[in-house]
């Protein structure tokens, strides 16, 4: 058994995600630049396709890159100053909250209801 704070472990996925996030935020990767494919990330950094796919997924979900099927993946750029989340992320989160509210009206689980209530407050 391993003692210690497991949450403090720094994975290659986290390091790569943070590295590319920083490159985009600092402007070293500019909006419109081609972003490396998952295969290219795997080869360049010696990680598996699952890891490189997670990096892509995370950067897409926070609005820093976008994938255009049949064309490639491109940098969108950092969010505007002071904006913590992208409109797409806020819209997706709101959709989850709305779906949950509809479901809760039938089931009423208290713990999950409180968690979604916190998410709803954070979106406001």
In tens, the pLDDT along 11-64 reads 888 889 889 998 998 889 999 999 999 999 999 999 988 889 888 988 888 889
pLDDT value for 5: 42
pLDDT value for 7: 43
Q: Which residue do the tokens 């997924």 mark? A: 57
Q: What is the rounded average pLDDT for all residues in the chain?
A: 77
CB atoms within 10 A of CB 11: 11
Q: What is this structure's pTM? A: 0.59
């Amino acid at each position: 058994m391993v003692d210690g704070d497991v949450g403090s472990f720094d994975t290659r996925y986290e390091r790569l995600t943070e590295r590319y996030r920083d490159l985009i935020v600092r402007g070293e990767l500019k909006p419109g630049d081609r972003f490396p494919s998952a295969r290219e990330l795997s080869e360049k950094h010696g990680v598996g396709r699952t890891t490189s796919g997670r990096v892509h997924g995370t950067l897409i979900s926070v609005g820093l890159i976008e994938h255009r099927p049949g064309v490639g993946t491109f940098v969108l750029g950092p969010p505007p100053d002071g904006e913590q989340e992208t409109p797409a992320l806020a819209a997706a989160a709101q959709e989850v909250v709305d779906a949950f509210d509809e479901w809760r009206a039938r089931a009423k689980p208290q713990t999950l209801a409180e968690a979604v209530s916190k998410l709803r407050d954070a979106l406001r």
